[in-house]
Every structure is written in C-alpha cells, then in structure tokens.
Amino acid sequence: MEIFRIENLMVKYGEKVALKNIDLIIQRGEIFALMGPSGAGKTTLLRILNLFEKPTDGCLVFEGKRLNGTHTEKLNARRKMSLLFQTPSVFNASVFENVAYGLKIRGADKDTIEEKVINALTIVGLEGNERQKARTLSGGEAQRMAFARAIVYDPDILLLDEPTSNLDPANVAKIEEIIMRIRSERGTTIVFATHNIRQVKRIADRVGILLNGELIEVNSKERIFAAPEDARTKAFVNGEMIY
C-alpha cells in the first residue's frame, strides 16, 4: 500500500533547480534507499517528504491525501514522521533530555516519557548513559542518541539523511541493525539517503538513483545492482561515474 506519492515535482532555489520531473511512490513498510552524487538532491527530497520544503511545482500525496498546505493537515502528517538530519544537533543537556524532547512537545506525561526514552536508549545501546551530558558523547554515540530521538515517539515514517556517515564499522552495523529491527517490529516505513553502496545492498528493499536533481531509476535492489535499466545507474553503482 502506498504511503507517499510524488507527482511531477520540481524544487527550485532561485534559478537553481534542485529537483525536477520527480515521480515516486513509497510503499508502507518498505526500506527505500536514495543514492546519488553529492548535490544530486537527496536531502532536498527527504525535506519534501518531511514537508519542510514546499515544491515549486507538482505535489505530494500522503496517505492518499493531497497536501494542499493547510497548517493542521501538515502538522498532523508531520507528527507521524521523523527526520534524522545529516548533521544531528545536540542540545546542551543530558542524553535523557535530548531524547525526551519530541515526547515533551507532543504533551506526553512523565511516566510515558520515562518509559519511552529508556526503551529508545536501550534499542540504540545507550542504556545507562541517561544522565551524561550529550555534548560529551563520542561521535558514534551522539549519532545513536540522535537515532533514539528520532524513534522515541514511534513514528510511522523514518527519514534518515546519511545516518551512518562518519561512523566506524561497528557503529554502522549497530545503526543498520536498528533500522532493520524498527521496521520488523513496528512496520515503520524508512527512506534513507546514503553514499554507502554496501549498506544499500545490506538493508534496502528498493533504490532510487538521483542525478542532477532527476530520479533516473527506481528499482528493486536486486535489479539496480544486477540488471539496471539506465546505463548511468550502472556507471554509478560500479563507481565509474565522473562527477
């Protein structure tokens, strides 16, 4: 069943075209990887899905409803999603406070907050670090804390912008495990941007290849790597693309 549908979308910043001719359907419960060179438009597309960015042209259909931009509609949709930024921000407070934030703004009570924060920290392997100042976490730990913050309110959709860049292999493996676990336990729909081809092979169901703001191919992981339809996809996944 489809959860997102993008129709003929274009995003322009002044004269600069960041995305164009985008048609894409994301299915509920799938793990969808967005790949493409730096500047191709991956982050912009995630921001469109998250309703942070308004399309210059075209539209986004979420759960069968065309989002025409009424404030309440957007807010309700956004509450079901969580976007983990490329460079996660860390508040100058404890790990617990950092993770609790999303629940507090949703008005959760104290007991629920306590329970869900501990649960999220356990999932990312940071149980016991609640009282630590978040700013003193290592890079890998900070990334896992940001992940806990993204999943703490059980979003239906998790949008991840390069969730494992700058991590060592052990932390990469942990994050990938968490992604798989969240999807199988909660049926969460996951869309992630990455430069890591092996990661896509390990965890994605389907892949979209972005090039210069255009989605040149969307296909199953198997097809993308074994029998791509577009010659540029082949060049990209084989690391032969010059950019």
Please tell me whether residue 18 binds ligand ATP under the rule CB under 6 A: yes
- CB neighbourhood size of 170 (10 A): 8
Please tell me whether residue 224 binds ligand ATP under the rule CB under 6 A: no
Please tell me whether residue 40 binds ligand ATP under the rule CB under 6 A: yes
Please tell me whether residue 42 binds ligand ATP under the rule CB under 6 A: yes
Closest approach of Mg ion to the CB of residue 7, in Å? 23
The smaller minimum CB distance to Mg ion, of residues 82 and 129, is found at 82
Residue type, 186: R
| Dist CA 193 CA 204 (whole Å) | 11
Please tell me whether residue 243 binds ligand ATP under the rule CB under 6 A: no
| Dist CA 167 CA 140 (whole Å) | 6
Tell which one of 24, 26, 44, 77 touches ligand ATP (CB under 6 A).
44
Tell which one of 38, 70, 72, 92 touches ligand ATP (CB under 6 A).
38
Interface stretch with Mg ion, choices 39-47, 71-79, 118-126, 175-183 (CB under 5 A): 39-47
Residues within window 157-186 making contact with ligand ATP, judged by CB under 6 A: none
11: nearest Cα among 243, 214, 217:
214
φ and ψ of 107, to 5 deg: 75, 25
Residue type, 111: D
Write out 145-194 in H/E/C secondary structure. HHHHHHHCCCCCEEEEECCCCCCCHHHHHHHHHHHHHHHHHHCCEEEEEC
Tell which one of 43, 143, 189, 194 touches Mg ion (CB under 5 A).
43
- Residues binding Mg ion (CB under 5 A): 42-43
Binding site for ligand ATP (CB under 6 A): 13, 16, 18, 36, 38-44, 86
